[in-house]
Structure 1
Amino acid sequence: MSDSLLQLSAIDIATGSNPLYTVLWMHGLGADGNDFVPVVQTLDLPATPIRFLFPHAPLQPVTINGGHTMRAWYDIQHTDFIKQEDKAGLYRSQRAIVALIEHENQRGIPSSHIILAGFSQGAAMALHVGLRHPDKLAGIMVLSGYLPLVHEIRQEAHVANQLTPIFMAHGSYDPVVPVKLARSSLQLLRDYHYSVDWHEYPMAHAVCDQELIDISRWLKNILKEALISDHQNR
């Protein structure tokens, strides 16, 4: 699959005119950008206009699902997600997501006002892209996901996002992305001195009401911190 096929289309929703911030939210394996659109109405966010972008991952065969074609950010070849990782697919989707970030920059949203978010495979992409991005991001939100390519992160992580707040949430009974994998990602991030806000819920591979409340609280804090930083830099 060539990069020319990865010019991602996205659902674009703004909570007001002239958005000042962007939340770029990646869906999970086999879903599409519509998956988390309904969440916008539940977050009880401040009046500050925010753009939510929900991109559609490319269609591609997925080995673990019998080679069936579906929307995926990268191939998964093994039930142990960190075995035989699809490095080429991860980096290809990274470039496509970075292109969306750069498009937001061109629309007047600085990287420091952009939050990368995702669920499951989309959460893995949010971490993968966010830690490597050369410009400071506002935050990284990881829902039921994990950190891919753990052996590469020390060399590839960019200092620009060393202090970027990370929100991680996971279900204790997740049968898809085991909570053990998420906890190991959490420990690695903390070992590398990232600031991670960890939440664990008694649920499976899903999003629960308390999680949405916690996401809303975290997003409000991120927006407040970005506003304070803007004033200090003037």
Structure 2
Amino acid sequence: MTGEIDWVEIAPRAPHRYTIIWMHGLGADGHDFESIVPELGLPDDLGIRFCFPNAPVRPVTINDGMAMRAWYDIMDMSLERQVDKAGIAESSTSILKLIDREIEGGVSSENILLAGFSQGGVIALDAGLKCPHRLAGILALSCYLPTWPEIVPALSEVNRSFPIMMAHGSFDNVVAREAGRAAFEALTSMGYSVDWKEYPMAHSVCLEEVQDIADFIRQCFHLEGYV
């Protein structure tokens, strides 16, 4: 437990060298992306620990105030939406504490990758860009960056050159492609190395994307020749 966050863990069979902290989307939980691990086709002896945190349960305005797992509240679905900045900051702080826990456990910060889908991708970006420790990179799937440009003063200088992969569905009717592209363009304008990938899908993950994710993980952990 880290604050209010607990998580689902897939421990490595080999000695623990790398950690991927992967945040789920609205209304899901830490089990949501468990099944993607074998699909990535990463060798068992790499020593990668997968940590899937559970978002806290909170009322969500767009769902009539129903309580569900959410990294932050969503007030409306427009591109100009009102943003729950306090909720995002709270969740990002919890993930930064989880990163600290991994480092204290003996994992180099440069061997820690943040990943997330939808709301989880927002937190991966927000926390990763502010993290004071040098990370391996950020994998941001079907998401956007609602804290831009307010986040700019908090950007971490040590993570200015790490790799970021953003992936989005061309037909996403939950998080508009334009919102994802706006985040990509804002980050590239600031000099970040961002790889934008787009797939003919809705708000989901496809097989081609899974292969690209696996390649990105190898790149971040400098394992490109390791099969």
Which residue is 1:38 aligned to?
35
Alignment of 1:1-234 (within 5 A): 6-46=3-43, 47-80=45-78, 82-224=80-222
Contact 2:2 2:94 in 1 (8 A): no
* Residue identity opposite 2:30 in structure 1: G
CA distance in 1, matches of 2:166, 2:80: 18
* Residue identity opposite 1:12 in structure 2: E
Q: Secondary structure at the match of 1:146?
A: coil
Quote the offset at 1:14 in angstroms.
1.9
Normalising by structure 1, report the TM-score: 0.92
Identity %: 47
Contact 1:128 1:148 in 2 (8 A): no
CA distance in 2, matches of 1:28, 1:163: 27
Which residue is 1:229 aligned to?
none
* Residue identity opposite 1:185 in structure 2: A
Which residue is 1:230 aligned to?
none
**1:168-224, Cα deviation, whole Å (9 max, x unpaired):** 100000000000110111100110110001110000000000000100111111111
Which residue is 1:231 aligned to?
none
CA distance in 1, matches of 2:140, 2:48: 19
Contact 2:14 2:46 in 1 (8 A): no
CA distance in 2, matches of 1:6, 1:178: 32
Quote the offset at 1:75 in angstroms.
0.4
Quote the offset at 1:143 in angstroms.
0.6
**1:21-78, Cα deviation, whole Å (9 max, x unpaired):** 0000000000000000000001111431100000100000000111000000000111
* Residue identity opposite 1:84 in structure 2: Q
Q: Which moved more, 1:200-209 or 1:44-53?
A: 44-53
CA distance in 2, matches of 1:128, 1:34: 22
| Structure 1 runs, 4 residues or longer, greater than 4 Å off | none
* Residue identity opposite 2:49 in structure 1: R
Contact 1:137 1:164 in 2 (8 A): yes
Q: How many residues align?
A: 224
Unaligned runs of 5+ in 1: 227-234
* Residue identity opposite 1:103 in structure 2: R
Quote the offset at 1:5 in angstroms.
9.3
Normalising by structure 2, report the TM-score: 0.94
Which residue is 1:232 aligned to?
none
* Residue identity opposite 2:9 in structure 1: D
CA change 1:82–1:34 in 2 (3 A) is farther
Name the one with the larger helix percent.
1
Quote the offset at 1:158 in angstroms.
1.0
* Residue identity opposite 2:125 in structure 1: L
Contact 2:2 2:97 in 1 (8 A): no
Q: Give the CA RMSD over aligned residues.
A: 1.8
CA distance in 2, matches of 1:217, 1:127: 19
